[in-house]
Amino acid sequence: MVAIVVLMTGGMFALISQTNIRDQSAALAEAVAPADWVRGNADATLTLVEYSDFECPACAAHEPNVQNLLAASDDRLALVYRHFPLPQHKHARSAAAAAEAAGKQGKFWEMHDMIFDGQRDWTPLSEEDGTKIFDSYASTLGLDVSQYEKDFSSDEVTEKIERDRMSGVRSRVDATPTFFLNGKKVKDPYAAVKDALAQ
């Protein structure tokens, strides 16, 4: 009987521990900072943080809905984009570097949109050819391509992507896209934002 009690107690402890882990995963580990990319009203009462991977088909599929939320929010919503490149996606880090390099010249969101819009074009390519596609986007956006290429390979860009990824790890992100509304993880960001806007 004592052994059963010990096992039950151990089981209860394990359950409590797992619940605590899940509770931790429901909170954003790092607040929005000046280095984050923000779309919409930076002073909005609602902030939606998205951890995303440019090569993730689900992330691309979510983009129109996220844009619709921003358009319907009457400046009450800010979208924060953070990189969470998945290891199985060979272009994910290069795509993130392309967006960051474009951001150095004030065109992060324009590159962000082009990368997602062209996802089906560059995903099947080799890493080298995928990078050439991103280079062509830089030209289309009118960037200083020489500077873009330097920034693309810079330590600063590499470190920014890794900081984003690690903030996701600390927030218990394990899939993309993952959303946090005002610091709390939400399974359905569209319903959560609409409910919040209705209040």
The tens digit of pLDDT for each residue in 87-104 reads: 999 999 999 999 999 999
CA angle 181, 62, 26 (to 5 degrees): 30
Q: What is the pTM of this model?
A: 0.85
Is the Cβ–Cβ distance between 37 and 109 less than 8 Å? Answer: yes
The mean per-residue pLDDT over the stretch 139-153 comes to 98
The confidence score (pLDDT) of residue 199 equals 86
CA angle 116, 117, 123 (to 5 degrees): 65
The confidence score (pLDDT) of residue 173 equals 97
Tokens of 171: 């927030």
The confidence score (pLDDT) of residue 5 equals 31
Helix ranges (H only) for 48-107 are 57-72, 92-103
Q: In the chain, where are the structural domains located?
A: 37-198
The confidence score (pLDDT) of residue 26 equals 64
Question: Which residue carries 């990319």 as its tokens?
Answer: 37
Across the chain, mean pLDDT equals 88
Per CATH, the architecture of 37-198 is what?
3-Layer(aba) Sandwich (3.40)
Region of 38 please: left (phi>0), alpha (psi -120 to 50) or beta: beta
What phi, psi does 172 have (nearest 5°)?
65, 35
